[in-house]
Amino acid sequence: MQLIPPPMFVDYDILLACGLLIFWCGYWLVHISAICYGKFKLYRKPKPESSVQLIPSLVSLEHGLPRNNKKQYPGVSILKPLLGVDPNLFVNLSSYFQMEYPTYEVLICVVDRNDPAAMVANRLLEMYPTVDARLFLGGSQVGVNPKINNVHAAYQAAKYSLILISDSSIKMKKDTLSDMVDNMADDVAIVHQVPFTCDRIDNRTEPMTSPLSDNSTDPSSFLKLDGQVEYQNQTRKQRRFVATLEKVFFGTAHARVYLMADLVGAICHTGMSTLLRKQAMDECGGLQAFAGYLAEDYFMAKLVVARGWRTTVSSRPALQNNGGSELSKFQDRLRRWVKLRIAMVPHTIVLEPLSECLILGACAAWAANTLSGGSIDPYAFYMIHVLVWFLLDWILLNVMQNGPLPFTKFEYLVAWLYREFMGPYLFLTALLWRPSVVTWTTRQYRLRWGGLSEIYNQQPTSSSSDSITATVPIATTTSVTYDTTVPNNYCSTHQQQPPNGIGFTSKIKV
């Protein structure tokens, strides 16, 4: 019997080309699935029948008329970690005092007792005396994560079973909290929001060359912002471009992966605005169990899923409304996320570049040319690939916006092209330049494999801070005095004042 000799060689080019084309086809399925799922999931109207208990005694008004679907919602404790002020902090924070939700409390957290953000919080506590709100100063040192250190004392003092942790840059619509609670089914431990942005195209901070009105209610208007000169010197076109770029990024590349992950049940949790079931968190050891990670949101979701809970997204995106955005800070933010992903999930070193339009298109064009024996023009293939990707991103962005976009199609084209070229560059620079060191808030941290972190530089750094810090000006006009320095973990409400003789006085005109 004659044996058939084995092949002497394997054509690795053919195998690689087949693998790349299979991945390319799969990613088109991701595109289409994200669009369809976003259309199905986002901006859904609440159903009259809900998982929450119906009662006839709860009456809320909408346009002066009682609603037909009267629901009894569980109480929610809202934790707001603040660090410094920016031009939109007052607007963002005030939106949490105006929500259409029957029972909630607002727990504002500020670590530095001299932080002017405490003045903004105190002003809102006076403006909304009927809202159950408190100010926590001092924080708790339970780990390296500054966000958890900030909110830990408020988390322990929260009196409701649902906890909403929301960043200072998030602006809430009045019905968002109700929608998030509606998605909190019995087997769900985390309801998070797809990150997006407000329409900030026309927002700008002008130099204060004229006296401010005595009727002004925003204390941050009277604070001298560090870096304010550079921010004010930006042209309106530059600010418009950054706002457009952020909306394009969070409405296309980021939303595509986020929606697809929720569709297939993968862990993709960004903690910008997240509703937690306190029971599930306590089963995992509480917030302090995640204080050793900078990406605490990912590990929260990972652990609760391992314990049998589910996570899901709300139908209302998280509206970022950062008033001090700059192009360099936005790029640094994306680099930090790349470093965190590589430390937590190392295989993203390969998969993430291949998910970029320009890189994947070039690989697919080569693969199609190789498999066709040269009959397919790789340049024509590449141009069609980019065009279809561009159009699908436009559709997804409109799904995320759910309304008219605040910029033209030409501005979208410019921002889209910039983001697509910027993506591989930022990934490469994050990978090559100190990949294990990140800057967050006012410190630098070293990342370990697996996501654990440690403080890298004990000396605070302010060059890459995500928020604009502020100093208190010397007021020579009539002013109202706020005492903003109190002992660590002192809990202040609008009815309470710090003990006599403790703290220092900051005067601002209001």
Catalytic residues: 297
Chain position carrying tokens 């058939």:
4
Neighbour tally for 322: CB within 10 Å: 29
Contact by Cβ (8 Å): 225, 470: yes
Contact by Cβ (8 Å): 174, 98: yes
Residue type, 390: F
Residue type, 223: L
d(C-alpha 131, C-alpha 93), whole Å:
13
Question: Do strands 104-110 and 76-82 pair parallel, antiparallel, or not at all (unpaired)?
Answer: parallel
3-state helix, strand, coil in the chain (%, to 5): 40, 15, 40
Q: If we measure between CA atoms, which residue out of 320, 329, 305 comes closest to residue 272?
A: 320
Q: If we measure between CA atoms, which residue out of 355, 502, 414 comes closest to residue 23?
A: 355
Q: How far is CA 220 from the centre of its chain?
A: 22
Residue 336, CA distances (Å) to 98, 296, 446 in order? 33, 14, 11
DSSP string, 408-426: -HHHHHHHHHHHHHHHHHH
Contact by Cβ (8 Å): 427, 336: no
